[in-house]
Structure formats: structure tokens, C-alpha cells
Structure 1
Amino acid sequence: MSRSSTEVMGIPDGLFHWIPGEMVVVVRLPRIPGDDTQELLIEQIRVQLNEFLAQYSLVLEAYGTYGRWRETPSMPPIRRRSFIFGLHRKQPLIAIFFHARHMDPSVRDPLPLALSYLQGHLEHLAQVGLNVVSAMPNWLVAAAPFFYADGGPALPPHPSPLMPPTSPANALSGWHIRVLDGGIPLDSKGAEDVQVVVLDSAPHPDRIRSAATRLELRRNWLLQRLASDLRNEDGSFAVEYDRYPQSNDVCTGRDNEGEASYYPMTDHGISVVGLIRDVAPRAHIRLVRILNDYGGGDLYSLFAALTDL
């Protein structure tokens, strides 16, 4: 007897959100598949899962061919439908994205049903040679690892304060972050041998360079430092903006009263980069955009970025 969707995922409320009909199935493989056989492998797994789900009038469709992609033709095309984790292990894991569809079109979101049946029959699937480790929704993710609806800044951002008119002409605005003494000395080389990858929202690099030329921001030392790093193109700071195309139909954020208030937060990632640059002045930083302009995203972009590192 399969478990109910409530037992599998909990009761949907303001804490957890997923994209309707989209799921991830994680399967343990006997070996690492070749690049030219991965698409064939995930199709074989889809056929096996569909043979099991057919008795419940459920079908799994190839990711990027159904759901949002049918409703919105402008959705960016899917380059990959699966991602491999644990390449250093003898039995790696493959995470495959699917669309769940019910034969009855009146079922708005068949995902809880599909997950319930799969999770309740893992032993049966293993007996037929399909070692499913996990099945989950395509969870929505946000800039802050707390509740999705509260992700990102606690309040809408405010402009950077301007320098007082009486400040010296060569003075730079801003403040420095100081790390509390934890008994471990900081790297005396400023972390010059360290690379940090920030997976977050991001402004286009041209916007950073353009902002640095604005008269009121020319004395913002942190902005000037990051813009200089971008111009040098020496690897000290880079923004990967278009690698994982995002749509802005997923939003997050709340106002002072705690009500939903969607506002652009493209600078959330750059603020994280600023903190890192301040405490590790020589580290090499890559800001990878996996969240849209409103701080929302999903597991697909996160998995893609993690497996590309």
C-alpha cells in the first residue's frame, strides 16, 4: 500500500512550494554512463517508470516537452534532462527531471500522486532492476535557505547612502566587514589561492560597469573594486549571467507587513560577493546566476550549476 502525498511531502503551505507536475527521480547506477548514452539511459528509465505508473493512469513525459513549455512557448529550451552526481564513486547517482501527467485532464497537479506511488514501491522497483534512491518535486529555491516565500532580503532594498558634501574629494564611501576572532588566523595572503562560487541572483556585468561610472557612485569603494575586477578579466571576479536562462514567472519577497511583495533583487548575489571580497580580498570569485531577477528559481538550475563546477 502506498503512502499518501501528505506523508511523503508534508502539507503544502507557506513553507514549501514546487512547480506543479515537475519532478526529480534520483537513480543509483552500476557505472558512469558515457556522454553518448546518457539520453538513451534516461529514456529507458522513463519507460520502466511508465510501465509501473500506467496502472494508476499516470505518465512521465520528457522534461521540457510538457507543462510550462506547452503553456509558454518562450520558455528557454532544455539542454539537459539529467545530471550525474558522485563521479568519484563506483555507483554514481543520476537525477532525472520529468513532467508527471494524469490521463484524466481534470487532475490539475498529478505530482503528489506520482510521488506517493513511487516512494511507496521502492522495493518493487529495485526488484525489477531500477534502484530509485529518491523521488521529489522540482522544489522552488530562493536566495535565503529558509522559507521559499521569505527568501531574499528581509525588506525591499534601499539606495546606498550618498557621501556628505563636506567629505574630502578622495574619500571613499562604504564600510568594511570584520570577521570575529574564532581562534583561527585568517589567510595572510588574502585567500589568493581560493576560488569561491556564489550561486544566486546577479545583475548583468554591463550594469555593474555602468553603475561604477555614475557620478554619485564613483566613491563607492566596493563597487569600484568589483567593477575594476570585471574590467581586468583576470579571473579575480566574473559573472556568469546567461549560462542558465531564467524566467521571471517565479517570484519571492515580502514587505514590512509580511505580505507578499515581489521586487527586483538582482543585487542579492552581488551583495554576497561584496562580503566575500571584503574578508578575502584576493580570492577568485564566480557569481553564477541561477535565480531570476525576483530571487526565485528551482532545483533544475541548482543541479545544473552544481554538476558544472
Structure 2
Amino acid sequence: MTTVQTSLPMVAHWHENQIVITFRSNEQLSPATTGRVIASLHLDRLNQFLTTKGFTLTSFSDKDLFRIPQRDDPSRSNSSPQENAAGSGNQAPNVNSPSGKYLFRTPDGKGTSVIAFFHVDAAPGTATTPATAGNNQGQDPYATGGAGTGTAGGYYANDITMKVTCLINEHLHEFKQVEVPIVSAMPNWLKGGAKCIIEGCPITPPLPVDTVNVRGRWKFMLPRQVEESLQKADGRRVTVLVLDTLRPYADVSAVAASDAGAKNALLQDIVKNVTFSYNDLPEVLNDADDEQPVIGKDVYGRQIGFPMSDHGIFVAGIIRDIAPGARIECIRVLNDFGGGNTTGLMYALEQIQNRLQHQEGAGSPLNLPLVVNLSLVGTPPDEVLMTSPYNLNQTQVYQLREGLYEAIQSLTAQGVVFVAAAGNDSELRNSSSLITLSDGTTIPKRFQPRYPAAFAYDESAPGQPTRSGIPTVIPVGAVNQTGNAASYSNYPGTVGIATYGGELPTPDPEDAPPTPPLPPPYGTRTKIAEPIDAVRGVYTCALF
């Protein structure tokens, strides 16, 4: 694992030239009907249409997919129908291949939602990429990249993702007439960044705790005003799945067996009682790549990217502490820097569905009650998509989230509860989140919850049906030790909750140096003013 990402490019939000198309088939979902479901999408007709516009699609291949590792490693559990269906080798399959296609029951149980991933290229013989109709008169409305755009610069210089996405979404009626049942298209969103960094949840690197007189465990206490039934609840018979970063079980158990780990009671508990489901990553998220996707800010609020492979078990430790009777499983969907994409999230959600249906070969069965924890942000916020350089309108933005909504709605209809982070964008260190008052003073702007947490609320757009809020999606914000809203936390909304998350640390010196210093062991340890208001939890990696 690389220790830190230096000289990072600018912010990006999706994988270059990858598109995700959501379909709704009338075919019933079962292991035996996968071929019929895919055939009902009439993907060749879709590709023929795109070819007339100068584009062509190819399905994902093995190298683009999340995979269960070799079965001889006992720390890496569960099996994968998707792995077997993906085919062999890295040759690009045709559009009708099952590779990169994730199938979900529609909420009414009368059909199948298909979330399909494709590479998109200019059609053979196409010299230039045609522009499409859009918001900006006299220029390409979906152009990205280039210096000074506020995006990833050269990374998007040859990107046609948003062109093709909006082209498809503008012709949904025509597709319906030729029996191509498209709901919408979207980019392969990044939960992190590719060859760059994007906004994500972690607002500061982890800070080491002074080991002098360390107790083996810091207990979470519920507020006194919480009703008695919750005070006594321990999560018994509940399963909680933490979709996050994850180190291999062998690495974590080795730390637990060390002298330092032996004194950490919570770590010992996690090693004995938490299930590790470690997925191998596709090439674009590979931890061995120095240009892998990364997220994370330093203590001055600058985007730097730092190792956070323990974030998942940190979250699991909190859950284990307050709900010791719950069965907890950590599932790796992000790389060691917290970078991920829509492919990994859909892969994990489909596996959850298959295990919940006790499908043969899907892995250990799951039963209700089932909670899925998502400490991640799934799409860019409206503030990004509706401003330069994208300048999308409300209807276009609505369509760009339909695929993620379909998958989550499918699982909630089957009884799954989602607990999702509201986001950490509302902070004084970020000038874009400040409001200047008439007297010249500034106050932080409290942003609304990010997606998928925001799926808890109704959403409408011109020309679109109202997308009903999902009652079993619970947005979560943060409060500090005084019980007030943490300065960085987005507002979880009226149906959300807030729980202890600590407050931003005060660095010493308060003014940031001109160049971000390297973290230890390559640089001087950052000084943090006392007292520190932060959650204490498990950390097993050798680096801070």
C-alpha cells in the first residue's frame, strides 16, 4: 500500500469513458432467468442507435470488476455468482455479456432492474465526437477537462462520458418505442477519485492516542434522554453490514496478536466476533497503483489523500461497542485510500440481495433484520453538477442518480435498512461552504445530506415523476462533545439523526504551511492543540 499521494491533480467525479445504464425489464428475476433478462434489454438496438451518433459501447471485462479472492485464504469469505458469470480473460465482451451487469428485483416484484456498466468509445471511423443539445449556447454543453475548468484537467481531456450519458437520457422516449427499456444513464461515479482526488467523507487523518495509561476500551454511552428500551437494546438478532475499506483478516489478526494489540480489548473483540469479507479490486482502484483513487483532507482542510484502510473496522468497532449482540460483517468496497466507484457498490448490493434470498453459491445466507452502513458519498452534489463546467439542469441531475436509487429501493423493499452518512462538506476550512454576512463576518453554510443519504427525502424535477423518499434510509450527521452540530457535518434533515463524531482539530501552527508536509515516518508529526474532541477507536495500520 502506498503511504501518501503527493502532487495530486484536481478533482474528478467519474471514471473516464465509462457509463452506467439502468434498465427495467418485465422478466422476473431468478438465477435461471439471467439470460432472458439481458436479452429483453435489446442492447444491440441501443448500440446501433449510438453508432449513428458516433459512439459505441462494450461491456466490462474481468479487469473492471470486483472479485472474491482465491478460496484458499480463510480470511476472505463468501463466493460470487458474478465472478463465475464474468467470463475468462480480459478481452472486451460484447454488449450482451453478463459481465458488469447487476440484477435487482423491482420493488413490486414484477420485474427486474438491471444496472449495466459499459466502456464508451467513438465509433470506428468517427474523426470527432459529435456534440449534443444542451444548456450552453454556442459551445459543447458537456465538455470537461482542460486547464482551469476546476475538474481533473487533462484526465478528462478525451472524455465523452457526459456527452453519451445526456444523449441517452434525452432519447428515452425513442428507446421505449423500439423496446429498449432504459430508465436512465449515469457516469460510473467515483467514491474517491481516479488519477486524482475527489470530495469524500474523511475530514482529517487519524490521530494517535497517547499510549501512557491507555485503557483497553473507550465505551460509548447513550444520552440519558434516550428511551429505556433503546438503552437496554444490544442488537441481538440484527445483522449489520459495513460497506467500507478493509484490511485482510490475516493482517488485522497479526496486529491483535502483537504486544500492543493484546492490550486493545476492542481490537480483540473485533478479531473474534466480526466477519471480514475482503474483495479484490479492479485495476482502476488497485492499491498497487500510485495513481489510485484517493480521498481525505489534512488538518488544514487541504485535499491530500491518506491511508485509511482501517476506516471500516473503526466503524465496526463503534457498532460492536453499542450493539454487542449484533452480527457484524465488514465488506470491502473501497481501496486503502477510501477510493471506490459505483461498480463496487452495485456488486456489493447485488451480493447482499442474493444472500438475502438464500441463493445457492451467493455466500453465507442473510436474514432480516438487516442494516447496511454506508459511510460514503455516492454521487457529486448538486452544487457541483449544476455549476461550471457541467452546468446541468435539475432534470438532468435527477436522471444521473436514478440507477443508485433503483438498487437501494430494491433492497429496502425487501426489508433492508440503510444507515448513510450525510457528508462532511460544511466546514469553515472550505471557502465554498462559507456565507458572508452584511457586516463582513462569515458563517459556515450547512449543506443538505449527500446521496445516497438524501434518498430519504422526496425529490422532483421538471418533466419527471416525484421520486419518493425511502423511509428506511436513515441519514446520519455528527455532533461534538457539547451536543452541538459539528462544524463540518452536513444537515441530516428532519428524518435523519445525529450522533457523536467529534470536532475539527486545531493544528499548531494554525496557518497552513505552503506545501503539505509528508506524514510520519517521512515528515514531522503534526501538532494538535489540546483538548482533542474526537472518537477513539481501532487503528491497526503502521502509518498515521
TM range (shorter): 0.7 to 0.9
Distance 1:74 1:223, change over 3 A: farther
Aligned-pair CA distance for 1:81: 1.5
Q: Which residue of 1 aligns with 2:46?
A: 49
**Which protein, 1 or 2, shows the higher relative CO under an 8 Å CA cutoff with sep ≥ 6?**
1
Q: Is the 8 A contact 1:163 1:173 kept in 2?
A: no
Distance 1:63 1:105, change over 3 A: farther
Aligned-pair CA distance for 1:94: 0.8
2:208 to 137, 159, 172: 159
**Cα distance in 2 between the residues matched to 1:250 and 1:39:** 33
Q: Which residue of 2 aligns with 1:227?
A: 271
> Displaced runs of 4+ in structure 1, greater than 6 A?
65-68
**Cα distance in 1 between the residues matched to 2:104 and 2:344:** 14
Q: Is the 8 A contact 2:296 2:304 kept in 1?
A: yes
Q: Which residue of 2 aligns with 1:132?
A: 182
Q: Which residue of 2 aligns with 1:3?
A: none
Q: Which residue of 1 aligns with 2:100?
A: 81
**Cα distance in 1 between the residues matched to 2:105 and 2:334:** 24
Q: Which residue of 2 aligns with 1:242?
A: 279
Distance 1:160 1:39, change over 3 A: farther
**Cα distance in 1 between the residues matched to 2:253 and 2:261:** 11
1:29 aligns with 2:25: yes
Kindly, what percent of the aligned residue pairs are identical?
28
Q: Which residue of 2 aligns with 1:302?
A: 345
Deviates more, 1:91-100 or 1:187-196: 187-196
Output aligned runs, 1:106-185, within 5 Å. 108-142=158-192, 149-164=198-213, 172-180=215-223, 181-183=225-227, 185=229
Classify the secondary structure of the residue corresponding to 1:154: coil
Deviations, residues 215-238 of structure 1 (Å, cap 9, x unaligned): 233222211211232xxxxxxx20
Q: Which residue of 1 aligns with 2:377?
A: none
**Cα distance in 2 between the residues matched to 1:141 and 1:105:** 33
- One-letter code aligned to 2:260: E
**Cα distance in 2 between the residues matched to 1:196 and 1:184:** 22
Aligned-pair CA distance for 1:243: 5.9
Distance 1:184 1:26, change over 3 A: farther
**Cα distance in 1 between the residues matched to 2:90 and 2:112:** 34
Classify the secondary structure of the residue corresponding to 1:150: coil
2:331 to 281, 288, 294: 288
Q: Is the 8 A contact 1:212 1:224 kept in 2?
A: yes
**Cα distance in 2 between the residues matched to 1:177 and 1:289:** 25
Deviations, residues 190-241 of structure 1 (Å, cap 9, x unaligned): 2120100000001111122111122233222211211232xxxxxxx20101
- One-letter code aligned to 1:182: V
Deviates more, 1:101-110 or 1:36-45: 36-45
Distance 1:79 1:280, change over 3 A: farther
Distance 1:191 1:243, change over 3 A: farther
Distance 1:105 1:53, change over 3 A: same
Deviates more, 1:106-115 or 1:284-293: 106-115
**C-alpha RMSD over aligned residues:** 3.1
1:64 aligns with 2:108: no
Distance 1:66 1:306, change over 3 A: closer
1:204 aligns with 2:254: no
**Cα distance in 2 between the residues matched to 1:63 and 1:242:** 18
Q: Which residue of 2 aligns with 1:94?
A: 114
**Cα distance in 2 between the residues matched to 1:128 and 1:139:** 28
**Cα distance in 2 between the residues matched to 1:223 and 1:141:** 27
Distance 1:59 1:284, change over 3 A: same
Unaligned 5+ segments in structure 1 are 1-12, 230-236
Classify the secondary structure of the residue corresponding to 2:268: helix
Classify the secondary structure of the residue corresponding to 2:42: helix
**Cα distance in 1 between the residues matched to 2:27 and 2:228:** 41
Deviations, residues 11-46 of structure 1 (Å, cap 9, x unaligned): xx95x6000111111111012255455357547633
Aligned-pair CA distance for 1:188: 3.8
Q: Which residue of 1 aligns with 2:259?
A: 215
Output aligned runs, 1:260-279, within 5 Å. 260-279=303-322
Q: Is the 8 A contact 1:142 1:152 kept in 2?
A: no
Deviations, residues 124-143 of structure 1 (Å, cap 9, x unaligned): 11111112111100001159
Query: What is the number of residues matched between the two proteins?
Result: 274
**Cα distance in 1 between the residues matched to 2:113 and 2:241:** 23
Aligned-pair CA distance for 1:91: 2.2
**Cα distance in 2 between the residues matched to 1:79 and 1:122:** 23
- One-letter code aligned to 2:101: S
- One-letter code aligned to 1:251: V
More helix by share: 1
Aligned-pair CA distance for 1:287: 0.2
Aligned-pair CA distance for 1:120: 0.5
- One-letter code aligned to 1:18: W
Distance 1:67 1:271, change over 3 A: closer
- One-letter code aligned to 1:247: N
Aligned-pair CA distance for 1:86: 2.2
Q: Is the 8 A contact 1:46 1:60 kept in 2?
A: no
